[in-house]
Amino acid sequence: MNARFCVKCGATNKPLVGSLCIDCFLEMYGLVKQKQGLEISICPRCYAIRLHGKWVRPNTYDEFVELVRSSISSSLAPSRPEVKIDSIRIPSVDLYSNRVPVVLRARIGDHSIEKQLELRVHWKKALCPMCFKRAAGSYQAVVQVRYVHETPDIERFKEKLTEVFPDDIVEIEELKHGFDVKVSSDHVARRIALLIQRTWKAVRIIESYGDQRRRRDGRRTARLYISVRILNVSPGDYVVIDRRAYEVESVTRDKIVLRDSSGRRRVLNIKELPRRASRP
Residues near Zn ion (CB under 5 A): 6, 8-9, 11, 21, 24, 43, 45-46, 48, 128, 131
Least distance (Å) between residue 59 CB and Zn ion? 13
Q: Which is nearer to Zn ion, 41 or 197 (CB)?
A: 41
Q: Which is nearer to Zn ion, 5 or 225 (CB)?
A: 5
Give the H/E segment covering residue 189. helix 186-200
CB distance 141 to 188 below 8 Å: yes
Q: Which is nearer to Zn ion, 46 or 148 (CB)?
A: 46
What three-state secondary structure class fits 183? Answer: strand
Least distance (Å) between residue 131 CB and Zn ion? 3
Least distance (Å) between residue 234 CB and Zn ion? 39
Q: Which is nearer to Zn ion, 24 or 228 (CB)?
A: 24
As to burial, measured by CB atoms within 10 angstroms (0-12 exposed, 13-18 middle, 19+ buried), residue 8 is middle
Q: Which is nearer to Zn ion, 110 or 242 (CB)?
A: 110
Please confirm whether the linkage preceding 44 is cis (ω < 30° from 0): no
Q: Which is nearer to Zn ion, 113 or 194 (CB)?
A: 113
What three-state secondary structure class fits 63? Answer: helix
CA 65 vs. chain centroid, Å, equals 22
Q: Name residues whose C-beta falls within 8 Å of residue 163's C-beta, 6 or more positions apart in sequence.
A: 125
Least distance (Å) between residue 66 CB and Zn ion? 17
Least distance (Å) between residue 89 CB and Zn ion? 27
Please confirm whether the linkage preceding 280 is cis (ω < 30° from 0): yes
Least distance (Å) between residue 72 CB and Zn ion? 20
Give the number of other CB atoms < 10 A from CB of residue 143. 27
